[in-house]
Amino acid sequence: MSMRLPKQAGEWISRDKTVRFTFEGQEYSGYEGDTITSALWAAGVKVLGRSFKYHRARGVLSFANHDVNVMVTDGNDTNIRGDVVALGNGMQLDAVNTDGGVLKDKNKYIDSLSPLLPVGFYYKAFHKPARLFPFWEKIIRKAAGLGVVNFNYPRITKRKLNKHCDLLVIGAGPSGLSAALAAASEGLEVVLVDENQSLGGSLTYDYAGSESSRKILEELQAKVAETANIHVYTGAYAAGYYADHMVPVVTAKGITRVRAKAVIVATGVFEQPPVFHNNDLPGVMLGSAAQRLINRYAVKPFNKGVVVTANAHGYRVALDLLNAGAKVAALVDMRAEGQRDDLVGELVRKGVKIYPASCVYEAVATSDKLGVQGAVIFPFDEATGQANPGKSVNIDCDGIAMSAGWAPAAALLYQAGTGMGYSNDIQQFVPNCLPAGVFAAGRVNGVYCLQQRANDGMRAAAEVLRYLGKRPPEVTVDKHQGPSPSHPYPFVEHPKGKNFVDFDEDIQIKDFVNAAKEGFDNIELMKRFTTVGMGPSQGKHSNMNAIRILAKIRNLPVEKIGTTTARPFFHPTPFGHLGGRSFHSHRLTSIHAWHESAGAFFVDVGAWSRPAYYQQAGKSKQQLVQEEAQAVRQTAGIIDSGTLGKIEVCGPDAALFLERFYTGKFADQKVGTTRYALLLDEAGVVVDDGIASRLADELFYLTISTSNAAAVYREMQRWLQIWQLNVGLVNVTGAYGLINVAGPAARDIVGKLVSIDLSDAAFPMGAACETEVLGVPVRLVRVGFVAHLAYEIHMPSAHGLNFWLALMEAGAGYGIRPFGTDAQRLLRLELGHHLAGYDTDGLTNPYEIGAESALAMDKPFFIGQRSLKIIGKKKVAKLLVPFVLPQEYSGEMPQDCNLVIDGAAIKGRVTSVAYSPAAKRIIGLAYVDPARNQPGMVFDIRTDNGSIVKATVVETPFFNAD
């Protein structure tokens, strides 16, 4: 039976655009503008989902983005919220969390088992005997969760934007709209956000029956539309409040991080369900939900209904129902005094019977338990909260609208650090101490009268202007008059329970009572034990009622109970939105394209991509790495080392600076030479090592290992500030390219390009100079890290490829071969050099790697020196030594990080191990017992498969260079 109404004045649907869809296999149609729920309800479908725990039938509850029991899947996406997600043509929808469909859910039997499953039952069952728990756990895990995830769902990248404004107004109801307009008229740039598709907040449903309120709404909407400095985001929710007024605003398209100078929270209130037996049946809904159905979507909530209320709002709901052509069989007012204004007369004139001082004791379920067939009304003693069974009235109806009170939508205020106090005038938490730059207006601020809500918006805007240094006129807001909009205790006990407080988690009144009996009688423990508020709606309709129940149990005023902490997000927010377009930055040298075309296999080193080795068809990595290394030993190899950190230290105090920064001496270093530079931290731990080339009296050029470059430069900057030396630091890591040509033919190859004398006498190991190559100024350094004869050429990085090509050409006749980081690691190992960060870890001190010779302990100061004086008094715990395996060794190849074992004790580990084609045996570095560090001594390495290999300590280099 169609529940669609004739055109309603402010309706959000487009009747000329029909939308066809299916739900649980049945075909339906709705209109563009419908949500899934409104279209189904219009089509007369009332069972929209099943509850999480007991699998009870559920329909509309809030119709405000917390109908968590109405989640559907379209086969592609899951956990789609029917109450707010727009209907799309061709959607094929099914309810989640059912076994066999929403009507015939095979799990509905769990409802009748509910007495077996009291609060916290799972803590008390299934664990004995322990061996059976995995069996029970499988069953429990099968029952867990809501929707089924589609593993083929595509990756979606949403944009994440940044927006700056003077004022962010969250909520475009009467107070938010008034606030935005007032602030904008004073010239502020305003962002106005509302989660609905249309501005107006409660004006789009609550006062919708009234001509005058519609006029107010239209005027406000028109004014906002013509105000250029109000930027409106509809269909957008403020997901959370973060430090310094940053509020991510979420729409279907993505997230905008709004950074405001001030924020007005005008988020309104959530209607709270009164609690009675079967208050969850499809057809029982909040009054505001009924109004939304009628006034936004032109859908009749039910044909003949009962309104249960404890405030004026319920009377307006009844009027809206009557206007929509529904019969109102009774209006049940829980208050002893009932309502005392014109609304009463109006309803009575329209034939509605009013039951003051009464309650709905239970909703009577239809025989199939899928809907309402009546309501049982009992007199209600407001003072004691007791229903009196004496004079009950049974009323036939197919729906119940509930309006007993509200809870502030104050999550953002809490997150901002707002102090909230409980107002007995309105039985609601209201802000009483707002953080700087954060303001509240409207019902979330405890202001209920429509005119005063607009005033309150203007008042908040005036406070914002004052906060921003302007002088606006004072705006006053009248204090709340008349009866409270919320009932202090709208709960009706029932021997059969099923009076739901939390619809997400199926939590009933007795669950709270029992939790308290077991000692979980403060709000946080109660939340954890009962799981109230932990479902997807995050307590929007349950937290306040939980607090009221606990206050009653403990016989304390509500404010003594306090609230649980409100965490982001306001509404659940998709991974894809939050992740957005992730920035995966990376650095490439100017030779990258060449490496790629030469078959390089790249590895990430910090932000850089570096060739690990160059692939060739039919050859293994192992083979290629050996070949690349052999080329260096036999003729020449070439490697792109442009990723190394490069720092210039210049100025009169340059040498002094380095003497303090590094462990060695630099003051007496001759121009044109290089020195080893070892950096420690203040605890004496090895941080990095590199090479310092003195290019002029006042110019040192440092190379730093790739992954430490940025950190070392930062530390140089920091210490320079502390020491106040006359030094300039220039980080030229990206500005210079670096190519290393190594091997016996290196001199001949490099000599083809450079004009200076490269002979050992003129340019020995450790020499460095500035010269010109190919007409370009370069820095040339003779190094010995991977081979005894090797040259580093440092050139402006845009010339890197040219130099690479020129060197390849120059070396062609010698069989020059590019090599990657894998071969480099092997080559330096063959020479016995350790790699900082590879052969050391975050706690290694220089004594453990045998670096005493690099420590100028006689200097007045260097970073880490004082700690070394302490460490130096202690016995070294482990020592890095070079080792070899017997040439004939044919067992399992030891790997890096295999342990050095002595009986039952771990003595150390292998840090580098490889087969050396030059030494023709397996060589490596390992930490060993310091007592076993002498050449010729033997220690045990345990390989992956557990076998013990005898390794022998040797001296380096591992092979005879001649």
Question: Which one among 901, 902, 917, 930 touches another protein, defined by CB under 8 A?
Answer: 901
Residue with Cβ nearer another protein (364 or 603): 603
β partners of residue 910: 926
The span from the CA of 332 to the CA of 760, in Å, is 105
* Site membership for another protein, residue 611 (CB under 8 A): no
Q: In this complex, which beta carbon is closest to another protein, that of residue 486 or of residue 865? A: 865
- The H-or-E segment that residue 28 falls in is strand 26-32
Tell me how far, at minimum, the Cβ of 366 lies from another protein, in Å.
Answer: 26
- For 308, the 3-state DSSP assignment is strand
**Cβ proximity to another protein, 383 vs 904, nearer residue:** 904
d(CA 479, CA 426): 11
Site size toward another protein, by CB under 8 A: 173
In this structure, are residues 6 and 298 in contact, taking their beta carbons and an 8 Å threshold? yes
Instruction: Tell the smallest beta-carbon distance from residue 687 to another protein (Å).
Output: 13
The reply on whether position 567 binds another protein by CB under 8 A is yes
346 touching another protein, by CB under 8 A:
no
Token pair 């919708």: residue: 208
- Provide the minimum distance between the beta carbon of 614 and another protein in the complex, in angstroms, as a whole number: 17
Asked if residue 557 binds another protein (CB under 8 A), the reply is no
Q: How many residues does the chain have?
A: 962
Provide the 10 A C-beta neighbour count for residue 390. 7
Binding residue for another protein (CB under 8 A) from 89, 109, 125, 381? 125
- Interface positions, 661-680, toward another protein (CB under 8 A): none
Q: What is the DSSP string of 495-562?
A: TT--BEEETTTTEEHHHHHHHHHTT--SHHHHHHHH-TT-STTTTTTTHHHHHHHHHHHHT--HHHH-
Per the listing, tokens 């005898």 go with 950
CB of 547: closest distance to another protein in angstroms? 15
- Supply 305's token pair: 């209904």
Q: Which is nearer to another protein, 63 or 570 (CB)?
A: 570
* C-alpha span between 659 and 174 (Å, rounded): 69
Stretch that binds another protein, among 82-90, 192-200, 672-680, 939-947 (CB under 8 A): 939-947
- Under the binding rule (CB under 8 A), the answer on residue 944 touching another protein is yes
Binding mask 83-122 for another protein (x = CB under 8 A): --------------------------------xxxx--xx
Contact region for another protein (CB under 8 A) — 19-27, 273-281, 864-872, 917-925?
864-872
* 180 secondary structure, DSSP code: H
79 sits near another protein (criterion: CB under 8 A): yes
In the bound state with another protein, the residue whose beta carbon lies nearer, of 177 and 716, is: 716
Nearest approach in angstroms of CB 671 to another protein is 11
Is the CB of 42 or the CB of 612 nearer to another protein?
612
Nearer to another protein, 536 or 784 (CB): 536
Report, in Å, the least distance between residue 842 CB and another protein: 4
Q: Could you tell me how far CA 665 lies from the centroid of its own chain?
A: 48
| In the complex, minimum distance from the CB of residue 770 to another protein, in angstroms, rounded to a whole number | 10
* Tokens at 321, concatenated: 């129902």
| Residue 353 in the binding site for another protein (CB under 8 A) | no
Q: At its nearest, how many Å lie between another protein and the CB of residue 361?
A: 21
Q: Which two tokens mark 166?
A: 């003077």
Compose the 245-284 pattern: x for residues touching another protein by CB under 8 A, - for all others: -x-x--------x-x-------------------------
Instruction: Spell out, one character per residue from 772 to 801, where the chain touches another protein: x when CB under 8 A holds, - when not.
Output: -xxxx-------------------xxxx-x
- Write each residue from 720 to 759 as x if it is in contact with another protein (CB under 8 A), else as -, in one continuous string: xxxxxxxxxxxxxxxxx--------------xxxxx----
CB of 338 to another protein, least distance (A): 36
Structure token digits, residue 118? 């009291």
Q: Hey, which residues between 814 and 853 contact another protein (CB under 8 A)?
A: 838, 841-843
869, containing H or E segment: helix 865-871
We find the least distance from the C-beta atom of residue 151 to another protein, in angstroms, to be 5
Instruction: Choose, by CB under 8 A, the member of 83, 648, 792, 929 that binds another protein.
Output: 648
Cα dist from 279 to 65, 118, 845, whole Å: 19, 19, 70
Q: Give SS3 for 154.
A: coil
Instruction: Tell the smallest beta-carbon distance from residue 358 to another protein (Å).
Output: 29
Residue 855 token pair: 């420590």
**Could you tell me which of 109, 136, 92, 2 has the C-alpha nearest to residue 50?**
109
Minimum Å distance from CB 355 to another protein?
A: 32
Buried b (16+ CB within 10 A) or exposed e, 582-596: eeeeebbbbbbebbe
* Nearest residue to 535 via CA among 922, 51, 119: 51
For residues 698 and 633, the answer to whether their CB atoms sit within 8 Å is no
Question: Judged by CB, which is closer to another protein: 449, or 835?
Answer: 835
Q: Is 418 within 8 Å of 431 (Cβ atoms)?
A: yes
Does the protein bind another protein through residue 521 (CB under 8 A)? yes
Looking at 14-22, 297-305, 388-396, 569-577, which segment touches another protein (CB under 8 A)? 569-577
What's the min distance (Å) between Cβ of 552 and another protein? 17
Binder among 652, 764, 813, 886 for another protein (CB under 8 A): 652
For the record, the structure tokens of 342 come out as 């014109």
Are 400 and 332 in contact by the 8 Å Cβ rule? The answer is no
Residue type, 505: E
703 neighbors 712 (Cβ within 8 angstroms)? no
- Whether 490 and 385 have beta carbons less than 8 Å apart is answered as no
Rounded CA separation 812/792 (Å): 18
In the region spanning residues 624 to 643, those forming contacts with another protein, defined by CB under 8 A, are 642
Among residues 113, 114, 133, 135, the alpha carbon closest in space to that of 125 is found at 133
Q: Which is nearer to another protein, 389 or 777 (CB)?
A: 777
**CB 196 within 8 Å of CB 204:** yes
802 binds another protein (CB under 8 A): yes
Segment interacting with another protein, rule: CB under 8 A, options 310-318, 321-329, 869-877, 951-959: 869-877
| Binding window for another protein (CB under 8 A); candidates: 99-107, 294-302, 467-475, 523-531 | 523-531
Q: Could you say which DSSP state residue 370 is in? A: S
46 φ/ψ angles, rounded to the nearest 5 degrees: -115, -25
28 to 57: interface string for another protein, x by CB under 8 A: ------------------------x-----
Site for another protein contains 583 (CB under 8 A):
yes
Does 237 bind another protein (CB under 8 A)? Our answer is no
Token representation of residue 172: 């475009």
Interactions with another protein, residue window 160-219 (CB under 8 A): 160-164
Write phi, then psi, for 898 (nearest 5 degrees): -65, 150
